């Protein structure tokens, strides 16, 4: 019999707040972190969800010594703030895993450099955070495009089930940088307004930045509550295209099917889908096809991208946290800015705050290179 793997604690740092409760209250009020920002000189402002650097610095100085500020990059400060409350509550042992999810890491360190700074390597970034908090095991880095956050949860679950670790701290984060903006501009994927996932009039993504952290264990202590079980997971690559998703949704379909099979749940049992929903034509259409193939078209569904933007390696973990908050608060959050269906197949898009009993959550993600991932979270 497989061990039950539980998520007992989590935290997040976003433009909507520096803890979970602040974020949840902002979402209830329909607030969005997306606003106009000018990132690159000689380029027009565009919509993105970006942390206020001054607020971030003030928050960092509240919890860490001011002398430490110069020792950490902006992204590293986001990681430290997201993880600190969890480390203070849960003990780190020799059998504790430390998993870091990111797509670009400290990519901003490369600006105007003629040689590679040490901090730009993801392994060094992970080790720096691990050393700060005193982790004893070698850090694990998950960097698989935009499914990284969901995959990090799945990897923690599977490594604990295999007996390699007893518990795990998983953190995820990415920041907005000139490199990321230039990359998405090259795809002509950045929208000219606040994004509208699944809507007929959507015109592209908003980029976002955030950091998030969860604590996962197979052995909740006396003072811990197993709030959610990670009941199933899967990751499948359809190898369709370097950036474009499969038109038939094959990889996402297979990921969902496998995760639900492991969790032993049918479509009728899924109460809520936290989808990827980037507000690009190809992604939204592919997801609609995959969900319909799994007969999930009637399940309430949302995308968080119009609140947080696309936070790359942090998106899957952040959105999983918000999903769990939805279940605990028995409230579904609407998919912001959705008005008229813009996919060829139907979806049950949530349009307003609504009460709901949520036991089984399906969280999905898709990314460049044809990668897809899904997990089933079960409220205990």
Which of 187, 217, 247 lies at the terminal end of a domain, its last residue? 217
SS3 content of the chain, % helix, strand, coil (to 5): 35, 25, 40
pLDDT tens for each residue of 298-347: 999 999 999 999 999 999 999 999 999 999 999 999 999 999 999 999 99
Last residue of a domain, one of 188, 217, 246: 217
Give 177's contacts (C-beta < 8 A, 6+ positions apart): 39, 104, 107, 108
Q: How confident is the model at residue 221 (pLDDT cuts 50, 70, 90)?
A: confident
**Domain end: 161, 182, 217, which one?**
217
Residues 146 and 246 in one domain: no
Phi-psi region of 220 (alpha: psi -120 to 50; beta: other; left: phi over 0): beta
State whether 270 and 173 are in the same domain: no
Q: Are residues 366 and 273 in the same domain?
A: yes
Buried-state track 93-130, b at ≥16 Cβ within 10 A, e below 16: eeebbbbbbbbbbbbbbbeeeeeeeebbebebbbbbbb
Question: How many other CB atoms sit within 10 Å of the CB of residue 147?
Answer: 32
Q: Is residue 222 part of a domain?
A: no
Token digits of residue 51: 């942390």
User: Do 311 and 190 belong to one domain?
Assistant: no
pLDDT computed for residue 350 by the predictor: 98
Query: pLDDT at position 222, please?
Result: 67
Provide the pLDDT for residue 159: 97
- Residue 243 pLDDT > 80, yes or no? no
**Domain identity same for 199 and 286:** no
**Of the candidate ranges 6-10, 66-70, 233-237, 356-360, the one whose mean pLDDT is the lowest:** 66-70
Answer yes or no: do 157 and 260 share one domain. no
Domain that holds residue 270: 228-379
Quick one: CA dihedral 173, 178, 184, 187, positive or negative? negative
**Residue 223 domain flag:** no
Domain count, the chain: 2
Residue 184 is predicted with a pLDDT of 77
Is 266 found in the same domain as 145?
A: no
Residues 370 and 271 in one domain: yes
User: Both ends of the chain: CA-CA distance in Å?
Assistant: 18
Q: What is the mean pLDDT of residues 158-185?
A: 91
pLDDT at 45 over 90: no
Q: Distance between CA 173 and CA 311 in Å, rounded?
A: 8
Instruction: Report residue 167 as tokens.
Output: 């518990």
pLDDT (0 to 100) of residue 223: 67
pLDDT of residue 234: 98
Domain annotation covers residue 1: no
User: The whole model's pTM is what?
Assistant: 0.96
Same domain? For 149 and 71 the reply is yes
Enclosing H/E stretch for 293: helix 281-293
Mean pLDDT of all residues in 272-289: 96
With a pLDDT cut of 70, the percent of the chain lying above it is 98
Longest Cα separation, the chain: 60
Given a cut of 90, whether residue 134 has pLDDT beyond it is: yes
Instruction: Supply the Cα-derived Rg of the chain in whole angstroms.
Output: 19
| pLDDT at 356 > cutoff 80 | yes
For residue 338, the domain's CATH number is 3.40.47.10
């Amino acid at each position: 019999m497989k061990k039950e793997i539980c998520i007992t604690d989590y935290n997040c740092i976003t433009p909507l707040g520096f803890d979970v409760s602040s974020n949840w209250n902002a979402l209830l009020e329909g607030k969005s972190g997306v606003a106009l920002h000018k990132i690159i000189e000689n380029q027009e402002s565009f919509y993105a969800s970006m942390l206020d650097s001054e607020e971030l610095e003030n928050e960092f100085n509240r919890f860490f010594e001011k002398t430490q500020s110069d020792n950490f990059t902006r992204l590293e400060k986001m990681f430290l703030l997201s993880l600190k409350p969890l480390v203070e509550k849960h003990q780190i042992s020799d059998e504790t895993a430390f998993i870091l999810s990111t797509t670009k890491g400290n990519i901003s360190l490369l600006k105007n450099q003629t040689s590679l700074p040490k901090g730009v390597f993801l392994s060094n970034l992970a080790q720096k955070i691990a050393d700060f908090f005193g982790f004893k095991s070698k850090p694990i880095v998950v960097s698989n495009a935009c499914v990284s956050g969901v995959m990090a949860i799945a990897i923690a679950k599977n490594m604990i089930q295999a007996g390699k670790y007893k518990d795990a701290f998983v953190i995820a984060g990415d920041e907005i940088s000139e490199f990321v903006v230039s990359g998405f501009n090259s795809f002509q994927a950045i929208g000219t307004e606040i994004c509208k996932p699944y809507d007929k009039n959507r015109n592209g993504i908003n980029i976002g930045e955030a950091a998030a952290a969860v604590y996962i264990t197979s052995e909740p202590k006396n003072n811990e509550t197993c709030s959610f079980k990670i009941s199933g997971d899967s990751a499948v690559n359809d190898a369709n295209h370097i950036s474009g998703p499969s038109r038939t949704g094959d990889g996402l379909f297979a990921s969902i099917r496998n995760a639900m099979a492991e969790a032993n749940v049918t479509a009728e049992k899924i109460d809520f889908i936290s989808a990827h929903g980037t507000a690009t034509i190809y992604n939204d259409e592919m997801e609609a096809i995959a969900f319909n193939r799994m007969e999930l078209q009637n399940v309430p569904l949302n995308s968080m991208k119009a609140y947080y933007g696309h936070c790359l390696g942090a998106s899957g973990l952040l959105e999983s946290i918000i999903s769990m908050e939805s279940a605990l608060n028995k409230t579904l959050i609407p998919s912001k800015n959705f008005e008229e269906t813009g996919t060829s197949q139907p979806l049950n898009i949530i349009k307003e705050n609504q009460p709901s009993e949520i036991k089984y959550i399906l969280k999905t993600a898709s990314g460049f290179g044809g990668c897809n991932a899904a997990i089933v979270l079960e409220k205990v």
